[in-house]
């Protein structure tokens, strides 16, 4: 009898145990990969308290042990390589990438960056690390318009032109996010939305006043281009635009971004920008009011800690928990798209290993981009230098400087090549090479004795590496040599360096001087053009920058970089820094003759343009036009030409740009080789923005100009090839 009772008890135990095991094995809806993402996100949100929700909506999101969710750091950077996360490949700074005028190449770069970012994240997860800059949400690229060369953060951008910025930025986003139909490789972010380009020291309180025309014609197009290619995130800016804080702007965030453009990703505030709304802009009076303003305009993520006041704002009736849920839904959806709640083997990007980090292939790519970003501004036959040149003298404060390689927002590499090292690696054994620092970068030498200029007198070629670094220009708090919180008050070459170049010229006599300029913004010193036999502008060329620059100096690479920003002749040629009106700014509206024009850059070979043909001299409104022509390499070396298409509305009834870049094509040609090229000019390319911000096409004549720089007499004076011009009429 006892045996039967015991057996019965045992069977009952088995039934309950198996049932419990089956219940435990049941997949919760938010972990069920067969369900739509939106359903999974809603299920996860439904399992959180309001307090827990608020802690997920800040950049340092806390762990939720009850749901087995680890902490997550939303803040990661990848401006020109994975930044602030350890060892990574350092590619040329963003402004240098823009100088390539080559979106296909930049797609390669961002694909490499996202590989390294994924590998770092995969490794961090295995180790249980979940800190800042170890995530997959990268707050890059910066697609603000570099409207004024004084802005310290301009070198983070792709220059002054909306079309070029949108084209390069779109390629960057595509490479960052990958092409998997289900998963994002990483999440890119378009920043800083919108109308944000200095002054850096006033950014937390500044009100950028902008016309509807300038807003839609200049400041918004690049952001729209990135939204159109599916950028996952947009960062709202610190400042106000037309009196509305950008991170609480109904016009920018709700009307334009969400409603007009159909943006489906998440919006993140710049770090501390929500606190600025009540603390600096005084647009609201309390944290809770700021919380309500931001959430109602669907700012999903707060970089900072203002959103920890969400429960208090709900309690005060300023915002509802349902509105909080909508904002959190948009944020968490990104994590689901990155595969963070799926099985490890379901996501192919989880297989990317640490062997890709700073790999040989990525270093080679960094060197290639450095080569192609170099802009040759002058050459009287001095370049390229012969490798067996008997005596080369290298001087200048930037020759052996690591800071001029890395710009800002950079990673760390154990294989960096300074310009001095790059040159030393090229010079033939037996040739003499000398080096002296020469001059302090920002002041005259305290020691009056000068041994260096005498070396210029003896050398066959002097290479003077001059310019500025990220210590002089950049973000507030980082550029420790700037007296203006990262901005530049003087856009000339530092006086001590210009004086030193004068001494070198006097000592060298008729012997050759090559000036290599570093920096991320224009250096407006016309005298350099007179003092130097050749000038290279090399930006902040990345970890392999020295090798890449040397490749160009000694002819192993033919320079093909072009200026993504106009170099004015002096500060006096610019409107006031705080004025956001585009009149008088950039190549599109500047009426002063520049030192170097937008789109300009020379080559060691020559190109010719001929046989321009238009498909029609008259078209109906809404029809496309086709321009075809022949490009030829008329020189003795293979080279890349950056073909540029500009459009001017000759009969507009309102203010329009003098010219606008609407097409680019990078073409590689061997000596004597020709190629027939065509551009399809779409109705969108023919449209102009009127004073109300409306894009429209008017009847009248449209002029197209095709060449190797922005059109104008100055470009021709500097050595650009002749331009092809044609006109057609819109009926």
Strand pairing category for 233-236 and 244-245: unpaired
In a domain, 118, yes or no: yes
The closest alpha carbon to 308, from 54, 40, 679, 659, belongs to 54
In a domain, 690, yes or no: yes
The token pair at 483 is 């007296």
Residues 106 and 251 in one domain: yes
Residues 262 and 334 in one domain: yes
Residue with tokens 């070629």: 461
Q: How much is the CA Rg of the chain, to the nearest whole Å?
A: 28
Q: Vertex 564, ends 562 and 570: CA angle to 5°? A: 105
* Alpha-helix runs per DSSP H in 297-440: 310-315, 321-337, 360-373, 403-406, 419-424
pTM above 0.75, yes or no: yes
In a domain, 348, yes or no: yes
Q: CATH code at 662?
A: 2.60.40.10
In a domain, 654, yes or no: yes
Strand pairing category for 700-707 and 674-681: unpaired
In a domain, 25, yes or no: no
In a domain, 656, yes or no: yes
Q: Vertex 553, ends 490 and 601: CA angle to 5°? A: 55
Residues 654 and 563 in one domain: no
Final residue of a structural domain among 322, 356, 390: 356
d(CA 344, CA 356): 19
Query: What's the pLDDT at 1?
Result: 42
The token pair at 596 is 């170097």
Average pLDDT per consecutive 10 residues, the chain (731 residues; last block may be shorter) = 44 42 69 97 98 98 95 98 97 98 98 98 95 96 98 98 98 98 98 97 97 98 98 98 98 98 98 98 98 98 98 98 98 98 97 98 98 98 98 98 97 97 97 97 94 96 98 95 95 98 97 98 97 98 98 98 98 97 98 97 98 97 97 98 98 97 98 98 97 97 98 94 96 95
Q: Is 415 among the catalytic positions?
A: no
Q: CATH code at 424?
A: 3.40.50.1700
Residues 724 and 584 in one domain: no
Residues 199 and 119 in one domain: yes
SS3 for 489? coil
d(CA 731, CA 729): 6
661: left (phi over 0), alpha (psi -120 to 50) or beta: beta
Strands (E), 544-624: 607-614, 618-619
240 near 272, Cβ under 8 Å?
A: no
Query: What's the pLDDT at 632?
Result: 98
Q: Is 473 among the catalytic positions?
A: yes
The closest alpha carbon to 138, from 80, 97, 223, 196, belongs to 80
d(CA 490, CA 498): 13
646 near 690, Cβ under 8 Å?
A: no
The token pair at 509 is 């006599």
Domain residues for the domain of 624 are 607-730
- The sign of the torsion formed by the CA atoms of 339, 340, 343, 348 equals positive
Contacts with 648 (C-beta within 8 Å, 6 or more apart), sequence order: 656, 657, 658, 659, 660, 702, 703, 704, 705
The one catalytic residue in 116, 270, 487, 625 is 270
The helix/strand count (H/E) of the chain reads as 22, 24
d(CA 574, CA 585): 7
| DSSP line for 61-102 | EPPBGGGTB--EE--BB-SSS-BSSSB---PPPHHHHHHTT-
d(CA 77, CA 666): 29
Residues 125 and 182 in one domain: yes
The one catalytic residue in 116, 217, 280, 473 is 473
DSSP for residue 639 = E
Residues 584 and 612 in one domain: no
Q: CATH code at 58?
A: 3.20.20.300
Residues 214 and 340 in one domain: yes
The tally of domains found in the chain comes to 3
Residues 423 and 559 in one domain: yes
Query: What's the pLDDT at 17?
Result: 44
618 near 579, Cβ under 8 Å?
A: no
Query: What's the pLDDT at 7?
Result: 43
d(CA 704, CA 626): 11
Residues 371 and 341 in one domain: no
Final residue of a structural domain among 329, 356, 383: 356
φ and ψ at 642, to 5 degrees?
-95, 100
Strand pairing category for 391-395 and 432-436: parallel
Query: What's the pLDDT at 25?
Result: 53
Residues 350 and 424 in one domain: no
DSSP for residue 509 = T
Residues 422 and 466 in one domain: yes
In a domain, 10, yes or no: no
Residue with tokens 């599109």: 588
Total count of residues recorded for the chain: 731
The closest alpha carbon to 305, from 96, 548, 59, belongs to 59
The closest alpha carbon to 499, from 539, 436, 453, belongs to 453
d(CA 171, CA 520): 21
Contacts with 533 (C-beta within 8 Å, 6 or more apart), sequence order: 378, 379, 380, 382, 512, 513, 514
394: left (phi over 0), alpha (psi -120 to 50) or beta: beta
**For residue 431, what is the enclosing H or E element?**
none
In a domain, 8, yes or no: no
Final residue of a structural domain among 540, 560, 589: 589
Query: What's the pLDDT at 721?
Result: 86
DSSP for residue 158 = -
């Amino acid at each position: 009898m006892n045996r039967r009772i015991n057996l019965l008890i045992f069977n009952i135990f088995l039934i309950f145990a198996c049932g419990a095991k089956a219940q435990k094995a049941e997949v919760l809806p938010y972990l069920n990969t067969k369900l739509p993402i939106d359903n999974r996100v809603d299920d996860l949100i439904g399992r959180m308290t309001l307090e827990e929700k608020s802690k997920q909506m800040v950049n340092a999101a806390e762990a939720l042990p009850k749901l087995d969710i680890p902490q997550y750091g939303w803040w990661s950077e990848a401006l020109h390589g994975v930044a602030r996360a350890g060892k990574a490949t350092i590619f040329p700074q963003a402004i240098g990438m823009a100088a390539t005028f080559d979106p296909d190449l930049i797609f390669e770069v961002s694909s490499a960056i996202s590989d390294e970012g994924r590998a770092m994240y995969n490794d961090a997860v295995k180790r249980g690390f979940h800190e800042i800059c170890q995530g997959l949400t990268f707050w890059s690229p910066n697609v603000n318009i570099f409207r004024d060369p004084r802005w310290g953060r301009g070198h983070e951008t792709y220059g002054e032109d909306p079309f070029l910025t949108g084209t390069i930025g779109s390629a960057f986003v595509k490479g960052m996010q990958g092409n998997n139909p289900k998963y994002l490789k990483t999440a890119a972010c378009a920043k800083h939305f919108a109308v944000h380009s200095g002054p850096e020291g006033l950014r937390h309180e500044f009100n950028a006043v902008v016309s509807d025309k300038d807003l839609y014609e200049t400041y918004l197009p690049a952001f729209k281009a990135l939204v159109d290619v599916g950028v996952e995130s947009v960062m709202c800016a610190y400042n106000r635009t037309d009196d509305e804080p950008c991170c609480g702007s109904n016009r920018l965030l709700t009307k334009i971004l969400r409603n007009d453009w159909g943006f489906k990703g998440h919006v993140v505030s710049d770090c501390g920008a929500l606190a600025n709304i009540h603390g600096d802009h005084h647009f609201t009076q309390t944290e809770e009011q700021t919380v309500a303003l931001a959430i109602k305009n669907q700012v999903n993520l707060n970089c900072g800690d203002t959103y920890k006041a969400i429960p208090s704002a709900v309690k005060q009736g300023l915002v509802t928990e349902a509105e909080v849920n909508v904002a959190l839904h948009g944020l968490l959806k990104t994590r689901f798209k990155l595969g963070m709640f799926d099985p490890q083997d379901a996501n192919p990007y989880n297989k990317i290993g640490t062997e890709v980090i700073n790999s040989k292939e990525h270093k080679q790519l960094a060197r290639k981009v450095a080569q192609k970003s170099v802009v040759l501004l002058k050459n009287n036959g001095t370049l390229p230098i012969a490798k067996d040149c008997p005596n080369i003298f290298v001087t200048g404060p930037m020759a052996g400087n690591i800071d001029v390689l890395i710009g800002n927002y950079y990673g760390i590499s154990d294989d960096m090549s300074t310009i001095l090292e790059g040159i030393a690696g090229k010079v033939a054994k037996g040739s003499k090479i000398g080096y002296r620092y020469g001059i302090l970068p920002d002041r005259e030498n305290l020691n009056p004795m000068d041994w260096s200029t005498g070396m210029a007198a003896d050398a066959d070629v002097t290479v003077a590496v001059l310019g500025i670094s990220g210590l002089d220009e950049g973000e507030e708090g980082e550029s420790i040599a700037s007296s203006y919180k990262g901005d530049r008050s003087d856009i000339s070459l530092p006086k001590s360096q210009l004086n030193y170049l004068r001494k070198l010229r006097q000592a060298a006599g008729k012997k050759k001087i090559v000036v290599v300029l570093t920096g991320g913004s224009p250096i407006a010193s016309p005298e350099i053009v007179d003092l130097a036999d050749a000038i290279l502008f090399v930006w902040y060329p990345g970890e392999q920058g020295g090798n890449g620059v040397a490749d160009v100096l000694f002819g192993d690479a033919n320079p093909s970089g072009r200026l993504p920003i106009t170099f004015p002749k002096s500060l006096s040629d610019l409107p006031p820094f705080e004025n956001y009106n585009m009149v008088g700014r950039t190549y599109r509206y500047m009426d002063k003759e520049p030192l170097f024009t937008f789109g300009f850059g020379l080559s060691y070979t020559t190109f010719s343009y001929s046989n321009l043909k238009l498909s029609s001299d008259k078209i109906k409104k809404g029809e496309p036009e086709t321009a075809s022509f022949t490009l030829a390499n008329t020189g003795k070396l293979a080279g890349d030409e950056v073909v540029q298409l500009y459009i001017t509305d000759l009969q507009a009834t309102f203010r329009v740009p003098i010219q606008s870049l609407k097409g680019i094509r990078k073409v590689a040609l061997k000596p004597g080789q020709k190629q027939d090229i065509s551009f399809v000019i779409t109705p969108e390319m023919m449209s102009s923005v009127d004073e109300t911000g409306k894009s429209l096409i008017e009847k009248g004549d449209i002029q197209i100009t095709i060449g190797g720089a922005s059109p104008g007499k100055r470009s021709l004076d500097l050595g650009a090839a002749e331009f092809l011009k044609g006109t057609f009429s819109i009926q």
